[in-house]
Amino acid sequence: AQSVTQLGSHVSVSEGALVLLRCNYSSSVPPYLFWYVQYPNQGLQLLLKYTSAATLVKGINGFEAEFKKSETSFHLTKPSAHMSDAAEYFCAVSAPSGSARQLTFGSGTQLTVLP
Amino acid sequence: NAGVTQTPKFRVLKTGQSMTLLCAQDMNHEYMYWYRQDPGMGLRLIHYSVGEGTTAKGEVPDGYNVSRLKKQNFLLGLESAAPSQTSVYFCASSPRLLAGGIADTQYFGPGTRLTVL
C-alpha cells in the first residue's frame, strides 16, 4: 500500500520569500503524485500532478514540484510567496497496486504568509 | 457548470439521530468519493463508487452507508450518529482512471460540516 508523509504541519514564510512544502511518499511501484490546496472553508483544488512524464511539474499560481525517485520526494515550491497563498496544502499519491482507484492523502501543511 | 455540490453545508445532530448527505455533480463523471477530514489526519476515504449502481468501502467505512442510484448523485448516510462522526465531509468526483486503474484528478465539493452532540 502507498502512503504519504508531509513534514511540518505548519510552515510560516514572509511575503516574497521562498515557499517549500515537503512531501515524501512510499510506494512499491512508480506512483502518480498530486498537490492540492484548500483555502479556508472551501474544498480541495488541484495545484499540479505528476504522471510519469517530466519530473518537474508546473502548476497553477506559480507553484511547481519536482519528482525525485531516489529521494522518494515530491516537494512543492514557489519562488516568492504571496499573501493569497495562505492555505492548507495536501500531497496525495496514487499507485497501481492495492487500492488502485483511490488517492491517499498526507496530513496536510498549513502555510502562513507573514507581511 | 456548478461542478460538485454538497447539501447541507452545516448540520448539528444528536447522538443516535440519522441523516443523509447529498453530493451532486454535473460533469458526467463516473467515479465519486466520500471523504472525512479531521484535524491533523488529512482526508480519509469512507466509501467510493466506480459507476452508477456500484459502491465500495474505503479506509473508514464503519457507521456509514452510501448509495449511487443515479450517476450524478452519491448519498452518504449515517444511521445512528455518534460524536466520533463529528467531522467535515467532502465529496469528490473524477472522470476517469489513469493507465493501470490509477486514480486521476478528483474534483471536490465545498464540504459539509457535521457536529454530533
β-partners of residue A89 are A37, A109
In chain B, residues with a C-beta closer than 8 Å to the C-beta of A100 are 97, 100-103
Residue in A32, A90, A102 closest to B42 by CB = A90
* pLDDT score for A41: 85
* pLDDT score for A38: 94
Residue in A42, A45, A101 closest to B101 by CB = A101
The set of cell numbers assigned to A20 is 517549500
* pLDDT score for A54: 86
Cis status, amide bond into B61, omega within 30 of 0: no
Task: Tell me how far apart the terminal alpha carbons of chain A are, to the nearest angstrom.
Answer: 41
Q: For residues A20 and A18, what is the distance between their CA atoms, to the nearest angstrom? A: 6
B95: pLDDT strictly greater than 60: yes
Q: For residues B60 and B78, what is the distance between their CA atoms, to the nearest angstrom? A: 13
Q: Minimal CA–CA distance to B39: which of A102, A44, A108?
A: A108
- DSSP code per residue over A92-114: EEE-SSSSTT--EE---EEEEEE
DSSP one-letter code for A28: S
* pLDDT score for A97: 59
Q: What is the mean pLDDT of the segment spanning B102-110?
A: 89
In chain B, residues with a C-beta closer than 8 Å to the C-beta of A90 are 42-43
Pairing of strands A10-14, A109-114: parallel
Condensed to tens digits (0 to 9), the pLDDT of residues B23-77 reads 999 999 999 999 999 988 889 999 999 899 999 999 899 999 999 999 999 999 9
Cross-chain Cβ contact A100/B103 below 8 Å = yes
Q: Which residues of chain A are under the pLDDT cut of 70?
A: 96-101
Q: What percent of chain B has pLDDT over 90?
A: 83
The set of cell numbers assigned to A11 is 510552515
* pLDDT score for B87: 97
The set of cell numbers assigned to B20 is 443523509
Say how many CA atoms lie within 13 Å of B50 toward its Cβ: 11
Condensed to tens digits (0 to 9), the pLDDT of residues A7-40 reads 999 999 999 999 999 999 988 777 889 999 999 8
The CA radius of gyration of chain A, in Å to the nearest whole number, is 14
* pLDDT score for A98: 57
